């Protein structure tokens, strides 16, 4: 049940990281509406299938358009929406399973095209909606319902993967920090190119990682996350690799390629716009002469 | 002697040897002087080599099929001779390159055989490419064509504004004469081909896929995303070349899963969106098609059928995707299907499909087949004005709109405009939020099927409907069946004709007429008799004539089978005293 729709019966579990992500997205869209005069209805949220994707039904306030399709296909849908109308602000919201397992094949092509959209990925290291199976980011050795003897497959490391695929803008965030998260989503949306904000968004039901991520002094757990130092040069791929290949999870903007040329701009540069063809001429070109 | 009215030539050899160019040049030359032409091509799936053949039929009346028997077989190598020689009719002529193989070695028999070292002769003109002209010159002479036909064609085709135009044209002319001389020297003749009587309407010479693509552009397609696959690739390449202008977008995707989901995004964002594929890609689109049906997004998918299942027969023809076209996805869904039967219909099928998608707001399948895609044919010049463009009803009210409420088509909000909703592939309420209430699923399911009723006014052909037995082909086998039917009519066989390219939903009036028949005979290129079984679901007594060789029907086979079925039915009716 939501404030705006009593019939809608999906609920996130108490403490689910996705609540914070939702808040950050609402703040960002609102701020961009106010500051950049981008009407809410120019925003399209393309959602994956998973607990995370349900965010599209849960946002409060003025409503963007939503597209809640099939598992793993947010990126190609977003590609179609953005190419149909480059004025639209297209955002993908998806989980680690949706984006990095079934949908992984779509990241490379969009990165190479530099499709001007923003992906907000809620990584909980588990398949939440289907009740706790192993996901690509589940760590080696972890026991889940599909890995009862411990996971024997090593985990996908999203940041090196994104860097190697040539993603133009990569940020790392934590769902417990809505303000910082909102700032990164804002930067990603303003960035003219393919941007991913990859968020640690714990699943309190199947893999509660809050203590590990932010640390717990009482239990003697050091935080895994740390803020990227101001000295980091986010225009350098090498610097980004150095950060993500080290220990811990750096939070902040890892990489933002300079002078990206987004797909819609490249397409326009082909000069096809002013070259429209009359269908009668086209038919006539097959005339028997 | 009565002049020949019809002339069939087959060029057989190995991919890359120029068979297709030769048969297309012959077709173009014949069309220029007013004959009706049709080519048929089978490709190997490799680029170089592999057995290939191409056939050209030239006729004084519209060509409906490839022609069952060959008047001339041009064998480019030994294997081609062995494979194709039996299709040469009695008295037909074989041409082969005597520099490539020896006819004695392969047991050449009493057929009229012309040893024509066309490659050597071609080279002797100074332009090795004139080899094809040597062959054409020889062929033309067998049917007493005036020199002018091919000479004029040569000048028109090869005056291309290039510096060496003159050299090419004169080498080609020399090739034509060398061929003609070889032909005269052989002493063989097929008799004169009747002079053409050019139709009194304007014509174009076009391939099926080009016709379909041109139709899509006439139908104002705006966004096209596709992935290469035979025999649909030429639709993608056509769009890459010709879909231009403000607001238009065309792109090669990374897979058919991307194609279908991308065009769904495009349709959702308000564009007339389309893709093309063949069986394997169509299978990959399954989930996406169900999504577009559920979300009510207008899109068009062309499935250019080839032999299946799986990778199947990539370069051969078959009509085995009909079940899949109608029911490509899991769950309760039935997609509209338009299956053009001629190169001309390919044009209008694309226009209709784009309109249908907009009208009922959902995915529409155009089911073409290999028989049509690469075939070159002269057709009446299509007139886009015959099919007015239909556009989806766009929502223009205020926010809070229940987009999915109501029992049939409702105005669609477009991103950037009012009425924000969630296009949802899960069962949903009015605004598109997920729901599990039983009544919502009932209402949603019924709404989605109700919308199909807006498509039930489609046209169909019917002739001689007084007879109790009917023949009803579909798709690319319309032509051979039509030719068989004309023959049966001349013979006085009592059989009615029905045909439509709008296979789903069928016009209820057509269903009613077919239900009233004792027997409906459906020639189709698949094992299961798919269309016949779909007709039986409508309580129509339909029986299929099936074939699954990867090749189209021969007209004489259809004549025999239909005649037998009609006779058998008559006997049974007499026995039963009806
Ligand atoms: C084609 C297909 N396969 C499987 C599923 C079942 N399924 C739904 S959500 C999901 C995984 C979700 O995991 P994730 O993307 O990490 O989202 P989360 O629930 O963790 O937010 C799966 C396997 C499906 N809906 N469609
Ligand atoms: S199962 Fe996990 S991911 Fe899903 S709502 Fe509950 S806490 Fe969130
Ligand atoms: Mg997950």
Q: What is the CATH number of the domain that holds B567?
A: 3.40.50.920
Residue with CA at minimum distance from ligand 2 atom 6: A13
Q: What are the chain B neighbours of A115 within 8 Å (beta carbons)?
A: none
> Domain for residue B279, yes or no?
yes
Q: How confident is the model at residue B20 (pLDDT cuts 50, 70, 90)?
A: confident
b (16+ CB within 10 A) / e for B516-544:
ebebbbbbbbbeebbbbebbbeeebebeb
Do residues B35 and B376 lie in contact, with contact meaning Cβ atoms separated by under 8 Å? no
How does pLDDT run across B159-208, given as a tens digit for each residue?
999 999 999 999 999 999 999 999 999 999 999 999 998 999 999 999 99
Any domain includes B252:
yes
Same domain, B225 and B337: yes
Q: How many CB pairs under 8 A join A and B?
A: 198
CA distance A206 to A54: 17
E strands, B28-69, in order: 36-42, 51-59
* pLDDT tier at B3, thresholds 50, 70, 90: confident
pLDDT at B104 over 90: no
Q: Any CB–CB contact under 8 A between A63 and chain B? A: yes
Answer whether B394 touches A (CB < 8 Å): no
pLDDT at residue B373 in the model:
96
Check if the beta carbon of residue A73 is closer than 8 Å to that of residue B423.
no
Distance B96 CA to ligand 1 centre (A): 62
User: How far away, in angstroms, is A10 Cα from ligand 2 center?
Assistant: 11
Q: Which ligand is nearest to the CA of A123?
A: 3
Residues B67 and B91 in one domain: yes
Residue B110's pLDDT is 56
The answer on pLDDT for B1 being more than 70 is no
Residues in contact with A29: Cβ distance below 8 Å, sequence separation at least 6, in sequence order = A40, A43, A62, A64
Tell me, yes or no, whether B280 lies in a domain.
yes
Does B44 score more than 80 pLDDT? no
* pTM (two decimals): 0.97
Measured CA to CA, the distance from residue A223 to residue A46 in angstroms comes to 32
Of the candidates A39, A80, A279, which has its C-beta nearest B384's C-beta? A279
pLDDT tens digits, one per residue of B540-577: 999 999 999 999 999 999 999 999 999 999 999 888 77
Among B371, B386, B401, the domain boundary falls at B386
Please state the atom number of ligand 2 nearest to the C-alpha of residue A17: 8
Judge whether A2 and B435 are in contact, CB under 8 Å.
no
Q: pLDDT grade, residue B230 (50/70/90)?
A: very high
Domain ranges (residues) in chain A: 18-284
Tokens found for residue B12: 């057989």
Mutate to test the interface with B, among A53, A63, A70, A266 (most CBs of B within 10 A): A70
The pLDDT, as a whole number, for residue A20 is 98
CATH placement of domain A18-284: 3.40.50.970
Same domain, B466 and B555: yes
Atom of ligand 1 nearest to the CA of A127: 13
Number of domains in chain B: 4
- On chain A, the residues whose CB falls within 8 A of the CB of B284 are none
Determine the pLDDT at residue B42.
82
Task: Give residue B45's pLDDT.
Answer: 64
Atom 9 of ligand 1 has which residue's CA nearest to it? A50
In this structure, are B166 and B116 located in the same domain? Answer: yes
- Window 126-185 of A, Cβ < 8 Å to B: none
Could you report the per-residue pLDDT of B283-325, keeping only the tens digit for each?
Answer: 999 999 999 999 999 999 999 999 999 999 998 999 999 999 9
Structure confidence at residue B377 as a pLDDT band (50, 70, 90):
very high
Sign of CA dihedral A124, A126, A130, A136: positive
pLDDT at position A212: 97
Contacts of B418 in chain A (CB under 8 A): 41
* A5: chain B residues, CB-CB within 8 Å: 429, 431, 433
Cα distance between residue B133 and residue B138, in whole Å: 8
Closest-CA residue in chain B for A112?
B254
pLDDT at B48: 65
Question: Ligand 3 centre from B129 Cα, in Å?
Answer: 62
Q: Whose CA is nearest to atom 2 of ligand 1?
A: A71
Q: Which atom of ligand 1 is nearest to the CA of A94?
A: 15
Q: What is the pLDDT of residue B177?
A: 97
Q: B162: exposed, middle or buried (C-beta count within 10 Å: 0-12, 13-18, 19+)?
A: exposed
The CA distance from B309 to B280, in Å, is: 8
B429 and B372 share one domain = no
Atom 2 of ligand 2, nearest CA residue = A203
Asked if B465 and B567 sit in the same domain, the reply is yes
Position B281 pLDDT exceeds 60 = yes
H or E segment at B226?
strand B223-226
Q: Which atom of ligand 2 is nearest to the CA of A52?
A: 3
| pLDDT, mean of residues B261-281 | 98
CATH number at residue B269: 3.40.50.970
Chain B (124-163) residues lying within 8 Å, Cβ to Cβ, of chain A? 156
Indicate yes or no: CB of A84 within 8 angstroms of CB of B269. yes
- Asked whether the predicted pLDDT for residue B469 surpasses 90, the reply is yes
B331-359: burial string, b at 16+ Cβ within 10 Å, e else: eebebbbbbbbbbbbbbbbbbbbbbbbbb
**What pLDDT shows up at residue B383?**
98
Instruction: For chain B, say whether A36 makes contact (Cβ under 8 Å).
Output: no
Lowest-confidence pick of A40-54, B111-125, B470-484: B111-125
Contact B259, B284 (CB under 8 A): no
The three-point CA angle A208-A209-A211 to 5° equals 110
Token pair, residue B464, equals 């001689």
Q: What is the pLDDT of residue B414?
A: 98
Average pLDDT, chain B: 95
Q: Where does a domain end: B386, B408, B436?
A: B386
Output the pLDDT for position A224.
97
Can you give the CATH number for the domain in which B152 is found?
Answer: 3.40.920.10
A77 contacts on B by Cβ (under 8 Å): 261-262, 264-265, 268
- Separation CA A268–CA B3 (nearest Å): 58
Q: Which of B411, B440, B455 marks a domain boundary?
A: B455
- For position A42, what pLDDT does the model report? 98
B515 and B444, same structural domain? no
Write the CB contacts of B339 (distance below 8 Å, at least 6 apart in sequence). Answer: B322, B325, B349, B366, B367, B368, B474, B475, B501, B503
Both tokens assigned to A73? 């296909």
Q: pLDDT tens track of chain A, all 289 residues?
A: 477 788 898 999 999 999 999 999 999 999 999 999 999 999 999 999 999 999 999 999 999 999 999 999 999 999 999 999 999 999 999 999 999 999 999 999 999 999 999 999 999 999 999 999 999 999 999 999 999 999 999 999 999 999 999 999 999 999 999 999 999 999 999 999 999 999 999 999 999 999 999 999 999 999 999 999 999 999 999 999 999 999 999 999 999 999 899 999 999 999 998 888 899 999 999 999 7
Is the pLDDT reported for residue B14 higher than 90? no
pLDDT at B46: 63
Domain encompassing residue B382 = 205-386
Minimum CA–CA partner of A44 in chain B: B415
| Residue B194 within a domain | no
- Token pair of A85 as six digits: 């109308």
Mean pLDDT of B461-486: 98
Residue minimizing CA distance to atom 8 of ligand 2: A16
With an 8 Å Cβ cutoff, are A80 and B434 in contact? no
Q: Is the CB of A99 under 6 A from ligand 2?
A: no
Assess if residue B48 is contained within a domain: yes
**Whether residue B327 sits in one domain with residue B241:** yes
Within a domain: residue B465? Answer: yes
Residue in the structure block whose two tokens are 């996901």: A135
Do the domain assignments include residue B470?
A: yes
pLDDT value at position A47? 98
> Phi, psi at residue B300, to the nearest 5°?
-125, 130
Q: Is A51 in the pocket of ligand 1 (CB under 6 A)?
A: yes
**Cα–Cα distance list, A10 to A128, A191, B24 (Å):** 13, 33, 62
Query: Does A93 contact ligand 1 (Cβ within 6 A)?
Result: no
Looking at residue B370, what is its pLDDT? 94
pLDDT given at position B578: 60
pLDDT value of residue B108 = 66
Residues of A in contact with B249 (CB under 8 A): 83-84, 267
Same domain assignment for residues B568 and B475: yes
């Amino acid at each position: 049940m939501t404030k705006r729709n009593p019939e809608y019966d999906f609920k996130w579990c108490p403490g689910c990281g996705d609540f914070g992500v939702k808040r950050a997205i609402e703040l960002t869209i609102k701020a961009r509406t106010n500051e950049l005069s981008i009407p809410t209805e120019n925003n399209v949220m393309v959602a994956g299938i998973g607990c995370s994707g349900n965010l599209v039904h849960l946002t409060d306030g003025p409503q963007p358009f939503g597209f809640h399709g099939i598992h793993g296909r947010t990126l190609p849908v977003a590609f179609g929406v953005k190419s149909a109308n480059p004025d639209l602000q297209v955002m993908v919201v998806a989980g680690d399973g949706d984006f990095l397992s079934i949908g992984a094949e779509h990241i490379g092509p969009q990165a190479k095209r530099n499709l001007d959209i923003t992906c907000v990925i809620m990584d909980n290291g588990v398949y939440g909606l289907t009740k706790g199976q192993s996901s690509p980011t589940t760590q080696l050795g972890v026991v889940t319902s599909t890995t009862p003897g411990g996971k024997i497959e090593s985990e996908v490391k999203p940041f090196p993967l994104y860097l190697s695929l040539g993603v133009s803008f990569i940020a790392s965030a934590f769902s417990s920090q809505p303000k910082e998260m909102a700032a990164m989503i804002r930067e990603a949306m303003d960035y003219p190119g393919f941007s991913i904000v990859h968020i640690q968004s714990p699943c309190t039901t199947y893999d509660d990682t809050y203590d590990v991520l932010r640390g717990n002094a009482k239990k003697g757990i050091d935080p895994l996350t740390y803020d990227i130092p101001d000295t980091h040069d986010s225009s350098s791929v090498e610097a980004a690799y150095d950060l993500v290949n080290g220990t811990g999870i750096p939070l902040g903007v890892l990489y933002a390629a300079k002078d990206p040329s987004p797909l819609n701009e490249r397409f326009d540069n082909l000069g096809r716009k002013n070259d429209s063809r009359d269908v009668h001429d086209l038919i006539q070109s097959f005339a028997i002469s | 002697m009565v002049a020949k009215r019809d002339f069939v030539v087959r060029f057989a050899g190995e991919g890359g040897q120029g068979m297709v160019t030769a048969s297309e040049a012959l077709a173009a030359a014949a069309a220029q002087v007013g004959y009706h032409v049709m080519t048929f091509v089978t490709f190997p799936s490799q680029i170089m080599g592999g057995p290939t053949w191409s056939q050209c039929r030239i006729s004084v009346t519209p060509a409906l099929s490839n022609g069952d028997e060959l008047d001339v077989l041009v064998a480019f190598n030994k294997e081609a001779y062995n494979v194709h020689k039996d299709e040469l009719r009695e008295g037909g002529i074989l041409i082969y390159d005597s520099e490539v193989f020896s006819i004695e070695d392969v047991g050449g028999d009493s057929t009229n055989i012309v040893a024509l070292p066309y490659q050597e002769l071609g080279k002797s003109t100074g332009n090795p490419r004139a080899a094809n002209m040597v062959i054409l010159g020889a062929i033309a002479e067998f049917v007493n064509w005036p020199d002018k036909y091919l000479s004029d064609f040569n000048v028109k085709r090869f005056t291309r504004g290039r510096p060496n135009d003159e050299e090419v044209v004169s080498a080609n002319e020399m090739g034509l004469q060398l061929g003609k001389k070889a032909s005269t020297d052989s002493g063989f003749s097929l008799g004169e081909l009747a002079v053409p009587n050019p139709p009194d309407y304007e014509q174009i010479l076009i391939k099926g896929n080009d016709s379909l693509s041109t139709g899509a552009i006439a139908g104002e397609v705006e966004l096209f995303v596709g992935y290469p696959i035979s025999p649909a690739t030429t639709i993608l390449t056509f769009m890459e070349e010709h879909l231009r202008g403000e607001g238009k977008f065309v792109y090669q995707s990374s897979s058919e899963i991307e194609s279908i989901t991308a065009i769904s995004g495009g349709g959702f964002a308000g564009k007339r969106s389309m893709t093309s594929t063949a069986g394997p890609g169509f299978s990959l689109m399954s989930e996406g098609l169900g999504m577009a049906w559920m979300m009510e997004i207008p899109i068009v998918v062309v499935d250019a059928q080839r032999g299946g299942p799986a990778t199947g027969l990539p370069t051969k023809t078959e009509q085995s995707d009909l079940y899949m076209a109608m029911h490509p996805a899991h769950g309760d869904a039935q997609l509209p299907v338009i299956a053009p039967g001629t190169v001309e219909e390919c044009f209008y099928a694309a226009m209709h499909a784009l309109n249908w998608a907009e009208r009922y707001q959902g995915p529409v399948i155009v089911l073409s087949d290999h028989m049509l895609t690469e075939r070159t044919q002269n057709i009446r010049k299509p007139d886009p004005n015959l099919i007015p463009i239909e556009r989806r009803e766009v929502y223009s009210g205020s926010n809070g709109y229940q987009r999915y409420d109501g029992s049939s088509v409702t105005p669609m909000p477009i991103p950037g405009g009012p009425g924000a909703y969630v296009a949802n592939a899960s069962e949903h309420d009015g605004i598109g939020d997920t729901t599990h209430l039983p009544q919502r699923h009932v209402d949603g399911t019924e709404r989605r099927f109700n919308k199909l009723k807006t498509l039930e006014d489609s046209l169909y052909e019917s002739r001689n409907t007084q007879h109790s037995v009917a023949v009803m082909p579909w798709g690319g086998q319309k032509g051979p069946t039509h030719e068989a039917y004309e023959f049966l009519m001349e013979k006085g066989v009592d059989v009615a004709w029905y045909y439509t390219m709008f296979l789903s939903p069928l016009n209820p009036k057509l269903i009613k007429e077919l239900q009233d028949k004792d027997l409906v005979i459906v020639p189709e290129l698949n094992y299961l008799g798919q269309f016949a079984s779909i007709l039986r679901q409508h309580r129509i007594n339909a029986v299929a004539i099936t074939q699954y060789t990867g090749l189209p029907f021969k007209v004489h086979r259809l004549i025999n089978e239909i005649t037998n079925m009609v006779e058998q039915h008559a006997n049974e009716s007499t026995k039963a005293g009806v």
